[in-house]
Amino acid sequence: MSGRPKVKEYMTREVQTVSPTDTVADVARRIKESEGHNGFPVSDGRKVEGFVTASDLLLVDDEDPIFTVMTEDIIVAHPEMDVIDAARVILRSGIQKLPVVDDADNLVGIISNTDVVRSQIERATPEKVGKLMRTLEQIHDVSLHEESRVVELDDLTPTQARVYADELEGRQYELERGLAEPLVVIDNGGELLLADGHHRVMAAFQLGIEEMDATVIVLDERVDLGMQRTAEKEGLSSIEDIEIADYGRHPLIEATQRLQE
């Protein structure tokens, strides 16, 4: 995708809503039973009447209708709005989700702070891929193309011998919330070389994940890659060969400690 990302590209279109006449108890039960929801838009048909969060349900009677406790002065986004502008609204307002309404004020989606983060992550990968593709073309004078695939982790040959334990927890957090960048993989004559994403792969391996999304650079003919030779010299044939280094050995931590001494 080119240009600035729009809300319509990242919003969730199937929106869970509640009715103004639902009771506090009904909505509290739905929040408790849902995954990741701490509130819902309140709609009458396709029109948004308000928004209700878990905090709105505190210290009120279970039988009170939602229209008596919901927030009516709500902030909404438009499908054509830039995601970065929606991010500013989310940040400044302190809310986590914006209902998205069209020109007729009909509810057409909802965008969250997680969606905003995902929009930025997905645009970071093409920059990495483009730079790597240009480098491969210039050095090896080879034709290549790009594909999106789901790759089996067992099929990957690492090109980095070490990852750091302190970073794995953060990568696991991203994976569990769907925020991890796709891997960058080179398909060199059928051998899949992991070019970027070693911490993500090891975090996935620890979580028992067997496959991941990847942007794959496919070389139209097999070439002798320096990273492949290095991997062979270091005995790297599978992700299980990657060493997990202790937190205290991370170069950034070591440099910080030296500065403090």
The token pair at 198 is 């070693």
What is the rounded distance in angstroms from the CA atom of residue 137 to the CA atom of residue 219? 9
What is the rounded distance in angstroms from the CA atom of residue 212 to the CA atom of residue 52? 36
Distances (CA, A) of 246 to 5, 162, 196, 243, 249: 39, 10, 21, 10, 6
Confidence of residue 124 (pLDDT cuts 50, 70, 90): low
Query: What single DSSP character describes residue 54?
Result: G
Average pLDDT, the chain: 87
- 144 versus 249: the higher-pLDDT residue is 144
Q: Are 35 and 114 in contact (CB under 8 A)?
A: no
pLDDT of residue 135: 92
What is the rounded distance in angstroms from the CA atom of residue 184 to the CA atom of residue 15? 32
Confidence of residue 123 (pLDDT cuts 50, 70, 90): low
| Mean pLDDT along residues 222-245 | 91
The token pair at 51 is 């928004």
pTM (predicted TM-score):
0.59
pLDDT of residue 3: 64
Kindly tell me the number of DSSP H helices and DSSP E strands found in the chain.
Answer: 8, 11
What values do phi and psi take at 67, rounded to 5?
-65, -15
Tally the C-alpha atoms within 13 A of residue 190's C-alpha that lie toward its C-beta.
Answer: 0
Report CA dihedral (255, 259, 260, 261) to the nearest 10 degrees.
100
pLDDT of residue 179: 78
Query: What single DSSP character describes residue 71?
Result: B
